[in-house]
Chains A and B, each alone.
Chain A
Amino acid sequence: MERKKRLKNLSIAAILAFYCAISLVPFYFLVIRSFTPTLKSGEFYFWIPERPEVQMNARLGNLASVNNIDITKLKKDFGLKGYIDPRLTLQQLAERQGIDAGELEEYLRPFIQYNGIFVVLSNGFLKSLWGTIVVAGSSVAIGGFLGIMTGTALAGFRRPWHLFVYNSYLLNMIVPPMMVILPQYFIVTQFLGLQDSYFAIVLLHIKGGALSTMVFTTYIAAIPKSLRESVAMDGGKHYHYFWYILLPLMGTPFAIFASIMMPLFWNDLLLGLLFLSPEKYTLPAFVATLGGAYGRNFEAVFSGVLMSLIPILVVYFIFQKLFIRSAMAGAVKG
């Protein structure tokens, strides 16, 4: 009996381990492909291939179109003036413009060797990253705060309208974003005048409040009523209770809320695409344009995917216990 049980357990563990291994494969190859030169996309690499060297006989035009080398910047950095024929090879360029070929090679080496990363960085990745941090961060912070406030009012459903408000938030969970995005766009851009603004996205992120209301109302309702009463007896007003007692106790529910919403805010494409100009794009929109504009430079596209994934993965691994617990908590409550 005991042996049979252990055998059963072992086989389940083996199956799950197998699934996990398969599950990691796309991540693995994402890393490999982020360092596989686009020109070698047709070959299979199980490991990161050797870094390519700068080919001095490569034509400038090809470098510009395949590797997205910025010719304008190159000209500026070497103090070159006038029209440069894209059919020239690097060797020819060096000879005609009288620059040291070795210097040119040194200059181009990082662009060629880590082409994906450099293309992504030079196209405004950091700005996009910062924008995403701002948007996702403030969405979580403001959304959480508003959720705590809502929970404070609604917890316990002391009045019939509390329950009505609570239930009406449910609607947000079952209305697909696409259904209301056209009208929302209309209101936010025409009515509120928020064009090309991070704030518009934050507003639309926190507008729903279904999950935050659910999490915080449930959690606050579980706090003994006597704490609130005690504050009143101690001569404190509702804002004293909120500020001194409730907020410090909201760590756990806030963590649950944040860990569920953070990936959604971080990865939201639609709002970024719609409300921002390309210079201010958040990461998903940024990656989407990489896929569109640099569709031919696979190395850059996959580097973009990888680089936009890493920050949220780091957060995920730091708080993984929390993420799992929140997923379960959310699931149990429904």
Chain B
Amino acid sequence: MAQVSFNKVRKSFGRTEVVHGIDLEINSGELTVLLGPSGCGKSTLLRMIAGLEDVTDGDIYIDGEYINDTDASQRGCAMVFQNYALYPHQTVYKNIAFPLKMAGKDKATIDRKVREAARILQLDELLDRLPRDLSGGQRQRVAMGRAMIRQPKVYLFDEPLSNLDAELRGKMRLEIARLQRKLNATMVFVTHDQVEAMTLADRVVVMHDGIIEQVGAPLAVYQRPTNRFVAGFVGTPAMNFLAVERAELGNESTKIILTGGELLTLPYKVVGEPKVLGVRPEHVRIGAHAGAVAVRIDPFELLGTEHLGDRSYRYFTVPFGELTVLGADNDAALPRGTPAFADFDADNVHFFDHAGKVIQRGQGQSAIAGERT
């Protein structure tokens, strides 16, 4: 158990800076997920904790100790690599035992610990196999075993599930979460897959272009994104973004004029200059009858419907842009030419200013306005 602190950490490869001054605290005993699109610097950040990349500028501390120039082998971190990095000529047993061998432990201790780890990870039967004779999931578990055997201060995961098929990935997610609770360990997990982030994380760190966009609990990040990038990146399908022409502030309400001239009246004040309105597919409905916060959308066009079994998404072109909507409403209920309405859930509408920052939220989220960006 340990905590990792970043102080204005920068990283350049040659002249290109890929990490621009990161400040971050990774809490002890938590599973922190670094989430972001590829090339956002999340892996680099992880590898800097590990000591596999040198830090161009700024400090990294593990448990308060300055470790910028400490050798990777001395940092007390363990890592699970994307390709698992199992030693191809060593059996599962030897792979798992390797860190203990490096630490100079005696044979009996090694044997006891390896068998214990193998039992936890259900690898008992496979100890004599070579990595090439294992399935992807088994390799993954061996890599986990090798990481946990030394009881490291920090576990580092570099997209460890991305080489697995969907079913196995789900299983391994649960496994890692279970393990984390069991070991009560500090874990840093890098992924570009938001499902992994949402399901695994105690805290999510959303990164983009070498900076941190938002830090928070998974649900908080989902429900209360602090900027347009996070709002758009987290959630599938992505949040709907509609361009705002202007906003007219009333007493207890705000009139929003969308680019097509459509009018939307919200029952609360929106302070500032909203340029974009964001709403998730599940917070907007389309129907023949106007609700409380509704906009007329005819003429509209249904571009397509995605049936996912438990739910469906419909994609529309409307006068003020495009809309993705959750729900498989009967399309026949909306015959062409009849009036149709998009009905917004006023509590879950987000506004962003010209820089993409959230400026003021609907009443549902007003409490967390101070969250870091």
Determine whether B62 belongs to the interface, using a CB cutoff of 8 Å to chain A.
Answer: no
Minimum CB–CB distance for B108 against chain A, Å: 19
Residues from chain B with Cβ under 8 Å of A234 in the complex? 73, 78, 98-99, 102, 146, 150
Does A173 have its Cβ within 8 Å of any Cβ on chain B?
no
User: By the criterion CB–CB under 8 Å, are A240 and B81 in contact?
Assistant: no
Asked if B335 is an interface residue, CB under 8 A from chain A, the answer is no
Q: Which residue of B lies closest to A233 (CB)?
A: B79
Q: How far is the CA of A303 from the CA of B67 in the complex (A)?
A: 69
Task: Write the nearest CB–CB distance from A161 to chain B, whole angstroms.
Answer: 16
Residues of B within 8 Å of A224, CB to CB, are 83, 85
* Chain B residues in 8 Å Cβ range of A240: 102
Q: Does B77 contact A (CB under 8 A)?
A: yes
Q: Which of A234, A240, A248, A249 is most buried by chain B, counting CB atoms within 10 A of its CB?
A: A234
A244 and B98 in contact (CB under 8 A), knowing A230-B81, A232-B51? yes
- CB within 8 Å of B: which of A232-266? 232-237, 240, 244-245, 248-249
A93 to chain B, nearest CB (A): 68
Q: How far is the CA of A245 from the CA of B78 in the complex (A)?
A: 18
Q: Which residues of B contact A226 (CB under 8 A)?
A: 81-83, 85
Is the beta-carbon distance between B85 and A235 smaller than 8 angstroms?
A: no
Interface of A is mostly: helix
Chain A residue contacts of B71, Cβ below 8 A: 232, 237
- CB contacts (< 8 Å) of A235 on chain B: these are 73-74, 99, 102-103, 150
Chain A residues whose C-beta falls within 8 Å of the C-beta of B112 in the assembled complex: none
Is B89 a contact of A249 with CB atoms below 8 Å? yes
Q: Report how many A-B pairs have Cβ atoms within 8 Å.
A: 64
B52 touches which of A227, A229, A248 (Cβ 8 Å) = A229
A: number of interface residues (CB 8 Å)? 17
CB distance A229 to B73 under 8 Å? no
CB contacts (< 8 Å) of A249 on chain B: these are 88-89
B87 CB–A CB distance under 8 Å: yes
| A230 lies within 8 A of B79 (CB) | yes
Q: A234-B102, A234-B146 are in contact. Are A229 and B89 (CB under 8 A)?
A: no
Residues of A within 8 A of B256 (CB): none
B201 within 8 A of A: no
Could you tell me the distance between the alpha carbons of A233 and B87 in the complex, rounded to whole angstroms? 13
Smallest Cβ-Cβ distance to B150: which chain A residue: A235
Q: A229-B50, A229-B52 are in contact. Are A236 and B73 (CB under 8 A)?
A: yes
Contact A233 B89 (CB under 8 A): no
Find chain A residues with CB under 8 A from B74 CB: 235
Cβ A236 vs Cβ B83 within 8 A: no
Q: Within the complex, what minimum Cβ distance (angstroms) separates B15 from chain A?
A: 15
Mark each residue of chain B from 61 to 86: 1 if its CB lies under 8 Å from any CB of chain A, else 0: 00000000001111001110111010
Interface residues of A in 205-245 (CB under 8 A from B): 224, 226-227, 229-237, 240, 244-245
Contact between B102 and A229 (Cβ–Cβ < 8 Å)?
Answer: no
Contact residue among A229, A236, A237, A248 (Cβ-Cβ distance under 8 Å from B98): A236
* Cβ contact within 8 Å between B72 and A233: yes
* Inter-subunit contact A229/B150 (CB<8 Å): no
Kindly state the separation between the CA atoms of A224 and B74 in the bound complex, as whole angstroms.
22
**Complexed CA–CA distance, A248 and B87 (Å):** 10
Which of B71, B73, B81 counts the most A-chain CB atoms under 10 A from its CB? B73
Compute how far the CA of A224 lies from the CA of B51 in the bound complex, rounded to whole angstroms.
17
Kindly state the separation between the CA atoms of A224 and B81 in the bound complex, as whole angstroms: 11
List residues 240-296 of chain B with CB under 8 A from any CB of chain A.
none
Neighbouring B residues of A227 by C-beta, 8 Å: 85, 87
A233 adjacent to B78 (CB under 8 Å): yes
Which residues does chain A contribute within 8 Å of B52, judged by CB atoms?
229, 232-233
List residues of A (279-316) whose CB comes within 8 Å of B's CBs: none
17 A–B pairs (Cβ distance < 8 Å), ordered by A: A224-B85, A230-B79, A230-B81, A230-B85, A231-B98, A232-B50, A232-B71, A233-B52, A233-B72, A233-B78, A234-B73, A234-B98, A234-B146, A236-B99, A244-B98, A245-B87, A249-B89
Sorted from nearest, which 5 A-B pairs have the closest CB atoms? A226-B85, A232-B72, A234-B99, A230-B85, A236-B102
